[in-house]
Every structure is written in structure tokens, then in C-alpha cells.
A = this chain, B = another copy of it.
Amino acid sequence: MPTNDQKVFDLLCSFVRETALLQSTFSLLGWDEQTGMPPNAAEYRGEQMAYLAGIIHRRRTDPRLGEWISHLADSSFCEQKHSASGTIVRELKRQFQRQCKLPETLVVELTRTAVTGQRNWQQARHENDFSIFRESLEKIIQLKREEADAVGFSECRYDALLDEYEPWETTSRVKCILDGLRKELVPLIKTIQNAPVNIPTDCLHRRFPTETQKIAGRDIAKAIGFDFRQGRIDTTVHPFCTEIGPYDTRITTRYDENFLPTSLFGILHESGHAIYEQGLDKTWYGLPPGETISLGIHESQSRIWENQIGRSKAFWRGFYPRLQALFPKTLCDTSLDKWYRAINTVTPSLIRVEADEVTYNLHILIRFELEQMLLDGGLAIADLPNAWNEKYESYLGIRPDTDAEGVLQDIHWSGGAIGYFPTYALGNLYSAQFYAKCEEDLSDLETQIANCQFDAFRHWLQSKIHQHGQCYSAGELVERVTGKPLTHRYLMDYLKTKAMEVYRL
């Protein structure tokens, strides 16, 4: 006969699994909205999603959850911290407490402000006029301060916001690591800019028909292990990866007929996210041991395929002949070496989503620093555009001429996502550190990649990272896998080595 603890544990799990049924249905509504929904359906889709979000929110703050979690807190289910049951109680407790600390009025106000904020941001960007967005952003920052105060923090408000995306992480630790990165990155970029080589990139800017790009993209996704029996690829303006069930992970990409890298690296990136989801332990679907750890770890899995694998010479040794076969006339004059160098050029630019893998991290750093200043009141919203431009000039040596290509370029803040940006840089750091360890573990990795064999690499990721779900925090996991806490060392080594090769430094 099951003990009372067992009964409570089962009740808890089945309640949360039911919520996952609704959450995954909500994801389908969102996926469909982005991919194929008829335009006039938008308004009602908003109602469908808001209604489901309401049900989900009520379930996540259901008092019974709190009772079950309290009941289990001192039970044998929590004895082993990293066990499935220990993880379930710990992580559900963390989520539940966060949800319950937020007053309903604040949640409603945040949602409403985000809707207005996104509309104003869109208009502001369209009209290239920050002042249209200013008031919304002021309101958003004010509400996010209230959110941080309601959630609570030990050192600074930013901790409380970061925790939503990167659980158990602290601002001071992230700051310390990213500062270390910046100190080495800025000089590296200067060195690259002064390098006496000119790398032609015209081979990327030719005419590549969408239909052929689709073939190339599916070919690559399939080769690296994206499982089409439990996923699909669609076309959207803003690429994303979404999970619609334990065996249903969908990615999207966009195609630029005059620039091949957009879809190729977009698909590598999103496939990386999807391979993480597809590699989770499905028996725990909907519960913490079967869920992804943090946005930083998620991003590490997309970046490792996009960059460490996808921008390596070995990868294109295997794939470039296939690419040339698909675009025989367009790429016949471009050697593997030329291609490899073209996709690895480093150029300071104004737009984050178009940045190369070296300068990208400075785009993030700028946002991370500005967010902290906005939150603690050290920077007034009115002064934000100028502060943004100053930082671009100081870190990247270029200055936006307009708000649209400056402070208004990203959607995140307008929707209330403050504390999200650093997870992009954390992803880059984690990916480099994981990859360095994997190279140690799999001695012939480069040869395998050059032979388009990715099974061993993917299994390494799966066994070291994916299958553990949330049993370890991001910080615990990186130490467990690599033997060291997260450091900027590996990313810098990786970027420097490649720069030396590409720029012949």
C-alpha cells in the first residue's frame, strides 16, 4: 500500500502533468498564430490564449500545490537533492513561491502594460522616434521594480528578475564573468579590425532560391539529428523553437534569397534548441526532471550547433560539397577555405541579431549594463538613447544614427522582459566550455564532424546535459560536466583561436 507521502507525491505530479497538457496546447495556439493562422483570426486567438493563460495561472497558484509541496518538504522524497523526486519538490516549490509572491493586480498590470508597450514600441520603431515608447518603458521599469520587490532578492533587484530566466543565478556572478569577457573581447576586436587582410564575403550575398535553401536546411537539420518524426520546420519572420508535446518540437526559420547564412545558421541554431528538447527524459514530461534548466543552458545548445559545430572548418569539409551541389553555378568559384572565412568574418555592427559570434557578446553586455542602471535608477529613461549610443561607440567603435537601429531594435523590453538578455551571453559561454570538454572526451570529434557524423556528439550532449532536466542547476551542471565553474576563458580561447586562423593573425 502506498504511504501517505507517496499519495501526496502522486497527486502533485498528476496535477502538474495536467497543467502541462494545457501549457502545450497553449504552445500550439502560439505556433499556429506565427505560422499559418489567417490574418483576421488574430483577435480571437488573443482571447483563446488569454483564457488558457488564465486557467494555467490559476493552476500554478492553486493552494493545493502549496499544501502538497509543504507536506513533502521533510519527506524521504527530498532526501536526494538531485533525484527526480527531490528535483520535483525543489523546483515546483521555487516556481510556486515565485508565482504566489506576485500580487494578482501586478500580474494583470504587467500584462496590460506589455500589450501597450509592444504596440508603442512597434510604432516608435516604425517612426524612428524613441519618445513614442518612453512612457511605456518608464511604466515597465517601474512595474519590474515592484515585481523584484515582491519576489524578493538578496543583493539587488536585478537578481529577482534574472531568476525568472536563469534560476539560482546571481547578478554579481554574471557581472563578474561578463566583465572579464569584455576586457579581453574589446582588444581582440580591435586586433581583428587592424588585421591587414581583406576577407571577401560576396559569396554569401548571391542569389539563393528559397526552395533550394529549404532542401539544404532540411538536409543539415536531419544530419545533425533533428528528428522529423517528432518535429517540423516552418517559415516565419522571427525564427523560434517551440515544444507542443513530449514528441512534438517545432522550429521555424526565415529565408533571405540574397543571403544564404540567414537560413543555414538559423536552422542550425533552432535545431540545437530542438535537439535539447528532443533529448529530455520523456517519462518526466511536464515535470522538472523532464524540463530544460534555464534560458542560458538552452541557448548554449543552440549556439554549440550554430557556432562551435556550424562555423567550424570540419563541418564544412563535410557539408560544403553538398552545398555546392545544391548551388552549383552560384558557388562554383568559391573554395571551402573562402566559404569558411566568409562565414567567420568579424565586423562591429549596430544590429544584435545580425552580429557575428565575436561582437555579439558586446551587444549583450551593453544591454545588461543598461538594464541594471535603469532598474536601480542610475539612468533616466529619457537619457537611455544617448547612453545606448555612447556604449556602442565605446565598446564597438560605431554609433547608431537613429533610435531604430539603436535602442529600439529589440522587442524584449517592450514586453516586460528585463533580465533576459544576459542569458544570450551565458549561452555562448556555456557552449564554449561544454565544447572544450567534449573535445577532450571524444578524441576523434573533428574527424567525425568532417564525415557528417554527429551521433557521438549528440549523445554526449544528451547524456551530459539533456537527460538530467532540472536535476542540476545551470551552475551545478557546468561544474559537474566540465569540472569547473563557468568562466569566460573557454569562449575567449575559442574566439581567439578562430580569429587567428581566419584573420591569419
CB contact between A40 and one of B22, B29, B41, B230 (< 8 Å): that residue: B230
Contact B232 A38, beta carbon cutoff 8 Å? yes
Once bound together, how far apart are the Cα atoms of A45 and B229, in whole Å?
A: 14
The 0/1 profile, CB within 8 Å of B marked 1, for residues 12-47 of chain A is 000000100110110011001000111111011101
Once bound together, how far apart are the Cα atoms of A24 and B18, in whole Å?
A: 19
CB distance from A491 to the nearest CB of B (A): 34
Once bound together, how far apart are the Cα atoms of A453 and B218, in whole Å?
A: 43
Q: For the complex, would chain A's binding face be called helix, strand, loop or mixed by DSSP majority?
A: helix
**Hey, which chain B residues are within 8 Å of A250, CB to CB?**
38
Once bound together, how far apart are the Cα atoms of A416 and B38, in whole Å?
A: 33
CB contact between A32 and one of B32, B48, B231, B247 (< 8 Å): that residue: B32
Contact A245 B41, beta carbon cutoff 8 Å? yes
CB contact between A38 and one of B22, B43, B230 (< 8 Å): that residue: B230
**Hey, which chain B residues are within 8 Å of A29, CB to CB?**
25, 28
Contact A48 B21, beta carbon cutoff 8 Å? yes
Interface flag for A460 (CB, 8 Å):
no
The 0/1 profile, CB within 8 Å of B marked 1, for residues 216-254 of chain A is 000000000001111110000000000011111010000
CB distance from A497 to the nearest CB of B (A): 39
Contact B25 A244, beta carbon cutoff 8 Å? no
CB distance from A419 to the nearest CB of B (A): 31
Residue in B closest to A42 when the chains form the complex, CB atoms? B247
Contact B25 A52, beta carbon cutoff 8 Å? yes
CB contact between A44 and one of B41, B232, B245 (< 8 Å): that residue: B245
Interface flag for A153 (CB, 8 Å):
no
Once bound together, how far apart are the Cα atoms of A285 and B39, in whole Å?
A: 18
**Hey, which chain B residues are within 8 Å of A44, CB to CB?**
24, 245-248, 285
Contact B32 A28, beta carbon cutoff 8 Å? yes
Residue in B closest to A231 when the chains form the complex, CB atoms? B38
The 0/1 profile, CB within 8 Å of B marked 1, for residues 262-295 of chain A is 0000000000000000000000010000000000
CB distance from A234 to the nearest CB of B (A): 8
Once bound together, how far apart are the Cα atoms of A360 and B44, in whole Å?
A: 38
CB distance from A76 to the nearest CB of B (A): 30
**Hey, which chain B residues are within 8 Å of A52, CB to CB?**
21, 25
CB distance from A30 to the nearest CB of B (A): 11
Once bound together, how far apart are the Cα atoms of A167 and B250, in whole Å?
A: 41
Contact B21 A248, beta carbon cutoff 8 Å? no
Contact B28 A229, beta carbon cutoff 8 Å? no
Contact A47 B21, beta carbon cutoff 8 Å? yes
**Hey, which chain B residues are within 8 Å of A285, CB to CB?**
44
CB contact between A41 and one of B32, B36, B45, B244 (< 8 Å): that residue: B244
The 0/1 profile, CB within 8 Å of B marked 1, for residues 307-339 of chain A is 000000000000000000000000000000000
**In this complex, which of A43, A48, A231, A250 has the most chain B Cβ atoms within 10 angstroms of its Cβ?**
A48
CB contact between A25 and one of B25, B39, B247 (< 8 Å): that residue: B25
Once bound together, how far apart are the Cα atoms of A51 and B230, in whole Å?
A: 21
Beyond A28-B32, A32-B28, whether A247 also contacts B38 by CB under 8 A is yes
**Hey, which chain B residues are within 8 Å of A48, CB to CB?**
21, 24-25, 245
**Hey, which chain B residues are within 8 Å of A228, CB to CB?**
38
Of all A-B residue pairs in the complex, the 8 with the closest CB atoms, nearest first, are A41-B248, A40-B247, A44-B245, A40-B230, A21-B51, A40-B229, A41-B247, A38-B230
12 contacts between A and B (CB under 8 A): A21-B47, A21-B52, A22-B51, A25-B25, A25-B48, A37-B248, A41-B245, A41-B247, A43-B247, A44-B247, A44-B248, A45-B248
15 more A-B residue pairs beyond the given contacts A25-B52, A41-B248, with a C-beta to C-beta distance below 8 A: A21-B51, A21-B52, A25-B25, A25-B29, A36-B232, A38-B231, A39-B229, A40-B227, A40-B230, A41-B230, A43-B247, A44-B245, A44-B247, A44-B248, A48-B245
